[in-house]
Amino acid sequence: MLCPYCQNEHSRVIDTTKEKHGGVRRRRECLHCGQRFSSHERPILAPPLIIKKDGAREEFDGEKLMRGIRISCAKRPVSAADVERLAGEIEVSLQAMGKAEVSSRVVGDMVIAGLKELDHVAYIRYAIVYLGLDDLASIRKEIDRLLETS
């Protein structure tokens, strides 16, 4: 770890604290200039490839996921922090699976489950596209099923 003050490579760890989101914070002291500084370490996990319906594979894109969630939550009382939290939880869940490839269906199911807890109208908006609800009867059936469970 380079000292931010004198660029020396040698420092000693004074204190180590685990952070709630999985990282580690280390308080360090430079052995050359004596200045103290903090470093943050967190594991870098490669996101899985997403297998689309047509069999094509693409890299997981957190921004694309967040955009889809934002669209379904448009003009709803859902905060940006809640949208980011849901997208982050889904990304962490995908990484925790430890698989190199994951079906887009798995991601969609995670979004559906998260939106169901977050906002029912946003859930219905997403479900119309995701579940392919293409007529009023199927949309009404989904709304009725949602009302039964709540």
pLDDT digits (tens, 9 = 90+) for 11-26: 999 999 998 767 899 9
Helix 104-118 crosses helix 120-130 at what angle (to 10 degrees)? 160
Nearest-angstrom CA–CA distance, 105 and 109: 6
* Single-letter amino acid, residue 145: R
114: closest CA among 68, 75, 145? 68
Query: What mean pLDDT, rounded, does the chain reach?
Result: 90
Distance, C-alpha 146 to centroid of its chain: 25
Give residue 145's pLDDT.
87
Quickly state the pLDDT bin for 54 (edges 50, 70, 90): very high
**pTM beyond 0.75:** no
Quickly state the pLDDT bin for 146 (edges 50, 70, 90): confident
